[in-house]
Amino acid sequence: MRELYPAREPYREGNLKVSDLHTIHFEESGNPQGQPIVLLHGGPGGGCPPFYRQYFHPEKWRLVMFDQRGCGQSKPHAELRENTTWDLVNDIEKLRQHLGIEKWTVFGGSWGSTLSLAYSQTHPSRCAGLILRGIFMLRQKELQWFYQEGTSYIFPDAWEEYLKPIPKDERHDLIAAYYKRLTSPDLQVQLTAARAWSIWEASTSRLLFDPELIEKFADNEFASAFARIECHYFINKGFLETEDLLLSNVHRIRHIPAVIVQGRYDVVCPMISAWELHRAWPEAEFIVIPDAGHSMSEPGIRSALIEATDKFANFK
């Protein structure tokens, strides 16, 4: 099992104004002369915690991380206006140009895998490689599984808490019911819904229950951005023109070196999506971790991702 690289601080931080409304916060760490790689965090709305830096060899990689619109240190906080998949794809390109990078490897898990696919399929010539984890393609069956019926059969205790803010007569469409509350003018209604939504995801993300993760996701500031932005994207079907857009456009990226890492017991982004992507894209290396759920910090997933980043660091 591979362990994380030692903790380190960024050598550069900055803010990039990407629209009249939004400014994104970015950082660079590792080696300024190393291979460029950009990390696309999950959520949407999850932000980049410092431990993400530890998945990358500090002497080989020039690691770029940024908080997507509305979350982390980006401003304005929890903002839904001008916040779509294609806005984020454009932000990645603006950041690449701002940093003077010709091509970079793209690393993304969960929603980050969605955004990685959308970005690479839009700008394939800018991608030197793809490292994907916990595949999510924002299709209706994936949303239904986690937010309506499916995961509830495996985590009925956590599901009961997730249902509490929603009256019984609205539970036939939980994403819509949550969206109503997460966009309520009543901030207490917003916060109650945001905490329940976020805790549901934290409760199901790991193979083994993690109270520290629950505590992080229950934090008011984190939960408000995470839940509001996720629900905004999900009620709008990810702003994708067709449900299978990311799967049908695989031909645009099949020449790019890629690896897909998937936990066998991932109930947030179940393995069927990774499997269907693998079947459509056999050129990509496909790694199933037999004793893992969704989280990138689970030992098997962590180890596979570090092995992948080490391998891709040697590509020219």
pLDDT tens readout for residues 206-264 = 999 899 999 999 999 999 999 999 999 999 999 999 999 999 999 999 999 999 999 99
**What does pLDDT average to over the chain?**
97
**pLDDT tens figures, 28-57:** 999 999 999 999 999 999 999 999 999 999
Q: Is 266 annotated in the active site?
A: yes
Candidate list 29, 110, 203, 273, residue with the active-site label: 110
CA dist list (Å): 62 to 104, 309, 315? 9, 12, 14
Q: What is the CATH number of the domain that holds 61?
A: 3.40.50.1820
Domain shared by 103 and 43, yes or no: yes
End of a domain among 222, 238, 254? 238
Confidence class of residue 316 from pLDDT cuts 50, 70 and 90?
Answer: low
Domain shared by 227 and 256, yes or no: no
Domain shared by 134 and 198, yes or no: no
- Is 249 a domain residue? yes
Candidate list 152, 294, 295, 297, residue with the active-site label: 294
- Is 191 a domain residue? yes
CA dist list (Å): 313 to 37, 124, 287, 296? 9, 19, 18, 19
- Is 4 a domain residue? no
End of a domain among 238, 257, 290? 238
**pLDDT tens figures, 138-178:** 999 999 999 999 999 999 999 999 999 999 999 999 999 99
| pLDDT above 80: residue 21 | yes
Domain shared by 232 and 97, yes or no: no
How far is the C-alpha of 233 from the C-alpha of 197, rounded, in Å? 14
Domain shared by 116 and 182, yes or no: no
**Number of folded domains that form the chain:** 2
Q: At what angle do helices 174-182 and 140-147 cross, to 10 degrees?
A: 80
Residue 13: other Cβ atoms inside 10 A: 13
Domain shared by 247 and 288, yes or no: yes
Domain shared by 135 and 273, yes or no: yes
Domain shared by 113 and 149, yes or no: no
Candidate list 25, 74, 266, 297, residue with the active-site label: 266
Number of H helices and E strands in the chain, helices first, is: 11, 8
Confidence class of residue 315 from pLDDT cuts 50, 70 and 90?
Answer: confident
Domain shared by 113 and 261, yes or no: yes
End of a domain among 238, 266, 298? 238
Tell me, letter by letter, the H, E, C secondary structure of 90-139.
Answer: HHHHHHHHHCCCCCEEEEEEEHHHHHHHHHHHHCHHHEEEEEEEEECCCC
Domain shared by 265 and 119, yes or no: yes
pTM (two decimals): 0.98
Structural domain of residue 31, as residue ranges?
Answer: 12-139+239-313
